[in-house]
């Protein structure tokens, strides 16, 4: 009895990246690349046809929907394919939204080919596949939950790092300015700092946000 191949959708806005993923995975037994998508919106539409088992999803697509948003829409459907994020980013600001959105796996683009193929098979079987650096950070968050930034705190600090004022952060996230200040106060306490600049520097060093 022949086992049906794992059917893949490659979602990335860079043709060279998609070609590289295809070249690596098409040589793997039991894996078939059946579709590609250059935008997150196209990935959501294509994944909804019902003939995809695993989506390899980039996080950043330029304009429009991002990979985490697309992942949430894809995984919300009954009988949805598994989503494995394949990206260059491994900060909390990137990994947490993707995992909360329902991603089964999270790999970095510099992962060796055998690791990528193994992640596809692991995800297709319904198990989690995480890059070692991502797994380590998640374990650290579980071990020391009192010092880990929440997703909202990470969002606030990422916008502060981008140069936004408290007022602008509040407008972007649909919060009051007082709520933003409260989030920042908790961030300062958790990171052991006393200023916006120090908080951004510490969070960048810890891999919580990227600059």
- Whether 34 and 134 share a structural domain: yes
| Contact call for residues 40 and 65 (beta carbons, < 8 A) | yes
Phi, psi of 67 (to 5 degrees): -65, -35
Of 141, 166, 189, which residue constitutes the final position of a domain?
A: 141
CB atoms < 10 A from the CB of 109, how many?
15
Evaluate whether residue 1 is within a structural domain: no
Q: What's residue 40's pLDDT?
A: 96
What is this structure's pTM? 0.77
Q: How would you write the chain as a 3-class SS string?
A: CCCCCEEEEEECCCHHHHHHHHHHHCCCCCEEEEEEECCHHHHHHHHCCCCCCEEEECCCCCCCCCHHHHHHHHHCCCCCCEEEEEECCCCHHHHHHHHHCCCCEEEECCCCHHHHHHHHHHHHCCCCEECHHHHHHHHHHHHCCCCCCCHHHHHHHHHHHCCCCHHHHHHHHCCCHHHHHHHHHHHHHHHCCCCHHHHHHHHHHCCCCCC
CATH number at residue 178: 1.10.10.10
Q: What's residue 59's pLDDT?
A: 92
Q: What's residue 1's pLDDT?
A: 47
Of 102, 120, 141, which residue constitutes the final position of a domain?
A: 141
Residues 71 and 95: their CA atoms lie apart, in Å, by 12
Structure tokens at 60: 């950043």
Mean pLDDT of the chain: 90
Of 95, 123, 141, which residue constitutes the final position of a domain?
A: 141
Using a pLDDT cut of 70, give the percent of the chain over it. Answer: 97
Domain of residue 77, residue span = 6-141
Across 7-16, average pLDDT: 96
Evaluate whether residue 81 is within a structural domain: yes
- Whether 36 and 125 share a structural domain: yes
List pLDDT tens digits, range 141-189: 777 666 788 889 999 999 999 999 999 999 999 999 999 999 999 999 9
Number of domains in the chain: 2
Of 118 and 210, which is predicted with more confidence? 118
List pLDDT tens digits, range 73-125: 999 998 899 999 999 888 888 888 898 899 999 999 888 989 999 999 999 99
CATH number at residue 133: 3.40.50.2300
């Amino acid at each position: 009895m022949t086992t049906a191949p794992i059917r893949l959708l490659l979602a990335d806005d860079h043709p060279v990246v998609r070609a590289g993923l295809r070249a690596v995975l098409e040589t793997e037994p039991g894996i078939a690349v059946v579709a590609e998508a250059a935008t997150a919106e196209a990935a959501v539409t294509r994944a909804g046809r019902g003939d995809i088992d695993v989506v390899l999803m980039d996080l950043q697509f330029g304009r429009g929907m991002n990979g985490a948003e697309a992942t949430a829409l894809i995984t919300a459907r009954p009988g949805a394919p598994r989503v494995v994020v394949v990206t260059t980013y491994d900060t909390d600001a990137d990994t947490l939204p993707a995992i909360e959105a329902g991603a089964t796996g999270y790999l970095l683009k510099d992962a060796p080919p055998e690791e990528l193929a193994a992640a596809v098979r692991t995800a297709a079987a319904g198990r989690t596949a995480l890059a070692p650096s991502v797994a380590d950070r998640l374990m650290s968050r579980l071990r020391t939950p009192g010092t880990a930034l929440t997703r909202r705190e990470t969002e606030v600090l990422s916008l502060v790092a981008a140069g936004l004022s408290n007022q602008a952060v509040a407008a972007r996230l649909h919060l009051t300015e007082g709520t933003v200040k409260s989030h920042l106060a908790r961030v300062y306490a958790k990171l052991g700092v006393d200023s916006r600049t120090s908080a951004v520097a510490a969070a960048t060093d810890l891999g919580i946000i990227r600059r």
